Amino acid sequence: YHYRKIKEKKYSDIRIELADAEAKGELLGVFAGDGTFFFNKKIYCYVIKFFFNSKTELEYAKELARFFGREFGKEPHLRVEKKGGIVSLTYMSKRLYNFLKEYLFWRITDRLKKSHTVRLKEKRHSKKFKVGFLRGCLDSDGYLSKKKISFASTSRELMKNIEWFLHELGFKRHRILEYQDKRPNRAKMYYV
């Protein structure tokens, strides 16, 4: 930390120049669904991670890494864990953390995780942003079949964002459903 203050950073930070509203919306949708962050005190930096299933979403994670590389000028660190079946994309960037906090709200407490409270701060966005955000949410926490498109989250407010965007884009047949798992220590799930 002190060395960086004196000698400057030894690695290049990402640049965030997302002029395309659809790309911006997609990034925020993916983070809202499958993203997390923490502040690493040992190396004094913000760590942002996106998680995926290594069996079914490996190609999507690689495609997303290329997309981030084009948009940010630096590809994330891609890690495939064979044991847990997880793929992660990682950035160490306060700039990216501040960008995410500019558009998304979340509250973390002893009882609440980011996924329980995440939502967009504003309702008003362009049509392109809404399309990108819905695509990001569908890719991270959605399901597509011949009969329906479903979104799922433990955040009721995120589901309200999705429901509002669907309404604004002309989808008329949608609703929010709740499901409480009977197993102990399970969060209530919300579906659109």
- Residue 130 scores a pLDDT above 90: yes
Confidence of residue 110 (pLDDT cuts 50, 70, 90): low
Q: Which residue has the higher pLDDT, 15 or 147?
A: 147
Half-sphere exposure of 19 (CA within 13 A, CB side): 1
- Residue 180 scores a pLDDT above 90: no
pLDDT digit string, tens, across residues 45-100: 899 999 988 888 889 899 999 988 888 888 899 999 877 788 999 999 889 999 99
Alpha helices (H) in the chain, listed in sequence order: 2-7, 21-34, 58-72, 94-103, 114-117, 127-141, 156-168
Reported pTM: 0.85
Q: Residues with Cβ < 8 Å from 57, sequence gap 6 or more?
A: 87
